[in-house]
Amino acid sequence: MRKLDHKFPSVALLLVVLLISSKCINNVAGREAEDDDYEDEFDGRTDNTEMNEEKKHNSAPLATDDNGIEITYESPKYDIANFYFIDHFDDTEMSQKLWVKSQAKKDDIAEEIAKYDGIWNWEAPQRIVWKDDVGLVLKSKAKHAAIAARLMKPFTFTENKHLVVQYEVTMQEGQECGGAYIKLLSADPESEDLTMFNDKTPYTIMFGPDKCGNDIKMHFIFRHVNPINGSITEKHCRKPKERLEEPFKDKLPHLYRLVVRPDNTYEISVDHKVINIGSLLTDFTPPVNPPSTIDDPQDKKPDDWDEREKITDPTAKKPDDWDDDAPPQVPDANAAMPDGWLEDEPEMIPDPSATIPEDWDFEMDGEWEAPLVDNPICEKAPGCGTWKAPLISNPNYKGKWRAPLIKNPNYRGKWTPRKIANPDFFEDLNPYKMTPIGSVGIELWSMSNNILFDNLIITDDVNVALDYATQTFDVKRKYIEKKSDSVLNQTKAFFKESPWAWFVIAMIIVLPLTYYCFIYNNKKDGCADAKKTDAIQPDDISNADGGNGDKNPNSKKKKSDLEVKAADATETNAENEFPDDESDSKDKDLTESFEIEDGSEDKDGEESDVDAKKIGAIQPNDIRNEGGDGDSSKKKKSDVEAKAAGVIETDVLDDDTDDKDKESTESFEVGQGHKGGEEDTTKPRKRRVRKDES
C-alpha cells in the first residue's frame, strides 16, 4: 500500500485527462467526418450546371449569430453600378467567361519553361467554409501561370474619385517562394489581346503579397510616365514596418486592400488592419520628381586642391636611440636548459609498427615513409631536440617610428562639383493621375500550389468595399474562428459545457498537494529521525509478555523478543564456516538459530539495543518470536526463527570473552544435532559467520 499511495494522484490525473481528451477528439473527429462526407459529395459533382442549380435550393449551415439564428450562405448582393470589376467566382459558368488564360511565352528563357502553362481551376477551398463558396485556384507549382479579365468599364484617375482594389487570398499549402499579387493592366493597345498576357504586358499598378525565403514584401508598384519625354519608370513603395508572415503560413483567407486617393496619399491594409500609409510624392523609390539641380559632369577637382585635414610634422626627427628593427620579444638570457633534456633525441620518430600498404605503388605514389609518432623516450624527459630559451618582452622595443600629425595649413575642405540645372527636371505634383486601367490580371510563378483567389473587386468607394467584405470575408473569418477544429477550442467548449470538469481538475491539484504536505512529509520526517542513531529501529516490536522468553528472576536484565519483518531488508545468503575439521556432510542437516545471551550484569538493570550495536552486529528490524525452550544450562535460550530471507548477517567476533564482555556482545550459536558424535552437544558451538553478498 505504501508504494501505491504516491501513484494514486498520478493515475487519477491520467484518467481525467484521457476522459477530457477523448471527449474533445470525438467532437473534432465527428465534425471532420461530416466535413469529409461533405467534401466527397462536393468533389463528386462534375457538372457545373448541376452544381449551380443545386445552389439555389441548398445552403450549407454556417453558424449562429448572437441571437441564435442560423446563418446560411448566399453569394454577396451588390449594385453592379458601384463597381468597375467584381467577381466572387461562385457562378463558375459566368466567371469562366470573364477570365482568359494566357497562351504566351516568356522571352529570353529556356523553351521548356517559357510557356505559360500553369493550371487554373474554379473550386471550393480545401478547408470548406461554405460548400457554395468557390474561388479561382492556381493548381500547379513551378510553372508560369497567367490569367486576365477585362473591366466592365475602364477606370480613369480623375480628381474626384478614389481607386479601391480589394481581394482575398488563401495560400492553402503555405508559401515558401512565390507571390499572390495582381496587376491592373493599362488601357493600352498592347493589352488588348489577353491571350498574350505576360510579364512584359504594360500595367499601371501591381499590388499584393510576395515572398521568397526570408524576403517578404507587400508590393505596391505604379508605373509613372515622364511628362517631358514619355519614358516610364517603376516606383516602388517603401516596405511596411511590420513583417507579414502569418498569411504565408496559417493557410487561412486574408483580405488585401489598396486605396489610392486624389490627394496623392495611399493606404494598404490586411484584414482591415492598416499596415502602410504614405504619399506618392515622398514614399517611393526612386522619387516621382527628379532633383532640380545635379552635379556638373564637366567639373573636375583642381590639381592643387588639398583635402587633407592633418599632415605629418615635417620638422619632427626620429630619436638617435630609436631602433625600428628591435623585435618585440627576445630569448631569456637567464634561462638554462633543464636537467635531463635529451638534445640528441628527436621529438617525433617514424612509427615502428607501421607497414607499407598492400596497394602502395612506388611508381605512382613515390617512396613510402612511415608516419611520425611521439618519441616514447621523451615522455619521461623534460624535453627532446634542440633546446631554445623561452621568449620574454624586449625592454628596448618601441615599434616603427612615425612623425606626429599636425594641422594642414593648406587644407581647403572636401571638394564637390558645382551644381547645374537638371536638364531632365520636371515637377509632377499630381502623380495620382496614372494611366487608365482596362483589365485585371494575375501573372505568377510560385513554388506552392493551390493558391486561391476570391472576391476580387475594383471600385471608387471605400464604403462599398467595406460593405462587400462584411458579406464575404468577415463572415468567413468569423465562422473559422467559431468553428475552429483546433483541440484548444474544443477543450474550451468542453469545459464551457461541462462545469463539473473544473471541480475534477481542482481536486486533482488539491489532493496531491494535501498528500505531500501532510502525509508524505510526516512519514519522511519519521524515517529521518529514526536514522539519526545507529540503533536499528524495528517497524513492530512484539510484546515481550506474549513470547516464551519470560523474565528471569535471577537476572537483572530484561529480555524482549523482536519480531523481524524484513520486507525491505537486502536479501543475502549466509555462508557458514565451521572451525571444527571433524564436521562432515551431516552438518548440512544442522538447524541454525540466533541466540541472544543474557545473564551479564548491567548497572541499570535494563538491556539496551545500543549496547548490542557497539560490536557492529546488525540488529534485524523485526524478529518474530516462535517460542523459547529452556535447558539445563545457566542461561535461558530462546530459539528465534528468521522468517525473512533478507536478514543481514555480519561477522561475529570469535574471541574468548569474559562475563563482562557479554554485556555488549551478541553471539550467534548453532545447535548441532549429530546423532553419533563424541562432541558435547549441551554447549553451544560458537562459529564465525561472514557476510555473503547475494
State mean pLDDT over 215-227: 93
Rounded to whole angstroms, the Cα distance separating 150 from 167 reads 16
Confidence of residue 523 (pLDDT cuts 50, 70, 90): low
Tally the C-alpha atoms within 13 A of residue 89's C-alpha that lie toward its C-beta: 24
| pLDDT value of position 414 | 92
Q: What is the DSSP letter of 519?
A: I
SS3 417: coil
CB neighbours of 229 closer than 8 A, spacing ≥ 6? Answer: 424
Residue 575 has what pLDDT? Answer: 44
Average pLDDT, the chain: 74
User: Residue 472 contacts by C-beta under 8 Å, 6 or more apart in sequence?
Assistant: 76, 88, 168, 454, 455
CA 378 to chain centre: 51
pLDDT at position 689 over 50: no
Give the model's pLDDT for residue 307. 92
Q: Is the pTM of this model over 0.85?
A: no
Q: Is the predicted pLDDT of residue 682 greater than 80, yes or no?
A: no
- Average pLDDT on 104-131 reads 85
Given this model, what pLDDT does residue 200 score?
Answer: 92
Q: What pLDDT does residue 590 have?
A: 38
Residue 435 exposed, middle or buried by CB count within 10 Å (0-12, 13-18, 19+): buried
CA of 348: how far to CAs of 7, 341, 589, in Å? 64, 15, 71
pLDDT at site 213 = 83
pLDDT in tens, 165-205: 999 999 988 888 888 999 999 998 888 899 999 999 999 99
Q: What is the pLDDT of residue 9?
A: 52
84: confidence class by pLDDT, cuts 50, 70, 90: very high
133 forms bridges with which residues in the sheet?
none
pLDDT confidence of residue 499 = 75
- Residue keyed to cell 637567464: 334
What pLDDT is attached to residue 17?
A: 55
> Quick one: pLDDT band at residue 69, thresholds 50, 70, 90?
low
Q: State the pLDDT at residue 332.
A: 92
Decide: 473 and 253 in contact? Cβ < 8 Å: yes
DSSP code of residue 571: P
Question: Which residues have a Cβ under 8 Å from the Cβ of 195 and sit 6 or more positions away?
Answer: 100, 101, 102, 103, 104
The answer to whether the bond into 423 is cis (omega within 30° of 0) is: no
Q: How confident is the model at residue 505 (pLDDT cuts 50, 70, 90)?
A: confident
Q: Which CATH number fits domain 83-287+429-484: 3.40.50.2300, 1.10.10.2840, 3.90.280.10, 2.60.120.200?
A: 2.60.120.200
- What is the pLDDT, as a whole number, of residue 488? 60
Kindly list the domain boundaries of the chain, sorted by start residue: 83-287+429-484
Q: What is the mean pLDDT of residues 577-587?
A: 43
The mean pLDDT of 8-28, rounded to a whole number, is 54
Q: Which whole number is the average pLDDT over 110-135?
A: 86
DSSP codes of every residue in 263-326? TSEEEEEETTEEEEEEETTTSEES-SSPPSEEE-TT----TT----SEEE-TT----TT--TT-
Of residues 442, 439, 458, the one with CA closest to residue 84: 458
Give the pLDDT confidence score for residue 539 in this predicted structure: 52
Backbone dihedral angles phi then psi of residue 8, each to the nearest 5 degrees: -60, -45
Contacts of 335 (CB under 8 A, 6+ apart): 389, 390
Cα–Cα distances (Å) from 310 to 86, 315, 412, in that order, read 70, 14, 11
Q: 516: which DSSP letter?
A: I
Q: Which residues, other chains included, contact 256 with Cβ-Cβ below 8 Å and sequence gap of 6+?
A: 166, 167, 168, 169, 207, 208, 209, 268, 269, 270
Q: What is the mean pLDDT of residues 96-122?
A: 88
**For the chain, percent of residues with pLDDT exceeding 90:** 41
Average pLDDT, integer, range 347-353 = 92
Tallying the residues shown for the chain, one arrives at 694
3-class secondary-structure state, position 58: coil
pLDDT digits (tens, 9 = 90+) for 481-498: 776 655 565 676 677 777
Q: Residues 366-400: pLDDT tens digits? A: 999 999 999 998 988 999 998 999 999 999 898 99
Which range, of 1-10, 90-99, 334-343, 517-526, averages the lowest pLDDT? 1-10
Q: Residue 535 has what DSSP assignment?
A: S
pLDDT at residue 651 greater than cutoff 70: no
Q: Could you tell me which residues come within 8 angstroms of residue 546 by beta carbon, excluding any fewer than 6 positions away? A: 625
Q: Return the pLDDT at 72.
A: 62
Residue 28's pLDDT is 43
Is-contact 236 206, C-beta < 8 A? no
What does the pLDDT average to over 57-67?
A: 50
Mean pLDDT within 122-138: 86
